[in-house]
Structure 1
Amino acid sequence: MKNVMRAINRTLSTGALALALAATSPAAFGQGAKPSAAALATAKQLVTATGATALFSPLIAGVIEQSKLLYLQQNPMLQKDLNEIAAKLRTDLSPKFVEITDEVAHEYATHFTEPELKAILAFYETPVGKKLLQEQPTVANESMKFAQDWANKLSTEVTAKMRDELKKRGHPM
């Protein structure tokens, strides 16, 4: 059971980290006051329009699968029962996802005024805003691929320069 709790905590920590990163971005240090009901409603619309919780979608299923795997490691004969239990848990726990959506909306409503939220939402409802939402994952993926390739090349260059400098200082390489 201790292993199950560790796995759950690991998965939740990953989601919490992502939420924390979103909440601590430079834009997040705006308003800070308790949001109004209207601001929360607008923020929920913004969350829906932007798909801001998509990052967290796999959390419930991931936690369930990790727990299932821990029990399977202890006793592979539990496969059939655990598959049934996992399916039921996915259904039973899916309403809990609203908690994440509500919290993300609350974060937006806390850091942006209602007029700012309406302006942001209005932007995402424009053709260019919709295009941004559509293209942003591709741009992010391509940017990450470039950054990874760039870092790998830089690593090779830095390693070679270090090796050359160590040789100059009399270290056998």
Structure 2
Amino acid sequence: MKSVFRILPAVGLALGLALASVPSFAQQPAAPAQKPASPAAIAAAKEILAMKNASAMYANAVPNLVAQTKDSLLQQNLNYQKDLNEVAVIVAQQLAGREKEIGEGMAQVYASEFTEQELKDLLTFYKSPLGQKLLTNEPKAIQLSMSFMNQWAQTFAETVNAQFRAEMRKRGKQI
């Protein structure tokens, strides 16, 4: 089933992974405490996330972080390239499956942000014809919206540039 999460992996995860570095993890503030959720609320949240195919968003988190760490270490230790490449395979194998922790955390977030009844209502909605249409069509709508925003930004940037040039001409300066 198509969902918005199928187009977001490259956007969300790449952004998160691009900004992540081993030393900065220690500097990050702890996540705010979440209110405890009932097992039924967590189950409903997991079902919603499954319907949205949220796991596609973080499916490659472990191999991507292993590769990013290896590349970072390679920059500082070029003479260990062979060893680091071999170790990366071992580390990836040892940590395989840990991305499921993200799904568990996401379910907890949903369950703490919505009441159990709201989650059940969302499930009912997503199972309805309109909910199914949303799950199917939303990725395309988001993709088209992003494309529109990019085109708008490009055109608007030209307008801003023209305004700068006009204002600078008023000051007798050509740029």
1:153 is aligned to 155
Post-superposition CA distance 1:126-160 (Å, at most 9, x none): 33323322322222122111101111110101111
Post-superposition CA distance 1:31-58 (Å, at most 9, x none): x742111111111111111123432223
Partner SS for 1:7: coil
Post-superposition CA distance 1:52-96 (Å, at most 9, x none): 3432223211110012223434236633x4444333333332321
Query: Higher helix fraction: Structure 1 or Structure 2?
Result: 1
Alignment of 1:43-122 (within 5 A): 43-73=45-75, 74-75=77-78, 78-79=81-82, 81-122=83-124
Question: What TM-score results when the alignment is normalised by the length of structure 2?
Answer: 0.72
Structure 1 distance, partners of 2:91, 2:158, is 47
- Stretches of structure 1 that go unaligned for 5 or more consecutive residues are 1-5, 24-31
| Greater RCO structure (CA 8 Å; 6+ sep) | 2
Contact preservation (8 Å) 1:8, 1:66: no
Identity, in percent, stands at: 34
Matched, 1:8 2:11: no
Report the CA distance shift for 1:83/1:47 in structure 2 as closer, same or farther (over 3 A).
Answer: same
Question: What TM-score results when the alignment is normalised by the length of structure 1?
Answer: 0.72
Q: Kindly provide the amino acid, as one letter, of the partner of residue 81 in structure 2.
A: L
Contact preservation (8 Å) 1:124, 1:130: yes
Structure 2 distance, partners of 1:172, 1:145, is 33
Contact preservation (8 Å) 1:64, 1:89: yes
Partner SS for 2:37: coil
Q: Kindly provide the amino acid, as one letter, of the partner of residue 22 in structure 2.
A: I
